Amino acid sequence: MMRVISGVVATVALTVGVMGALPASADTISRETLARKFVDYCVNTQYRVEGVDRNSMIERCRKASDQAMTQFEGNSFDAPSRSKFTAEQDTAIRAAIAAAFAKK
């Protein structure tokens, strides 16, 4: 009985060690996913702003997302943790939203 338990503990330890050595692919997202998260963020924030034209909001948010994405190269990005963007992502989307929704 003790050998079985020791074997199970050794197997679990080996599995945890192997899993720790694998790349953390869950910590990155694709370019398309980040762009979609930017659009979602924009819509969620702008929907609550008084005086924003709801008919053009989605299109303006898409433009803001496109503008923010121009600041990033490549196809893989750090995944936002708990729906919070990285500092660089947050700065990019906030500036793009401000430009897209600026009073003209």
Residues 6+ apart with CB under 8 A from 71: 88, 92
Write down the pTM of the prediction. Answer: 0.70
Report how far residue 95's alpha carbon sits from residue 68's, in angstroms, rounded to the nearest whole number.
8
What is the 3 state secondary structure string of the chain? CHHHHHHHHHHHHHHHHHHHHCCCHHHEEEHHHHHHHHHHHHHHHHHCCCCCCHHHHHHHHHHHHHHHHCCCCCCEEECCECCECCHHHHHHHHHHHHHHCCCC
Q: What is the pLDDT along the chain (104 residues), one digit of tens a residue?
A: 556 455 545 554 545 454 444 444 458 889 999 999 999 999 999 999 988 888 899 999 999 999 999 999 988 888 877 768 999 999 999 999 999 999 76
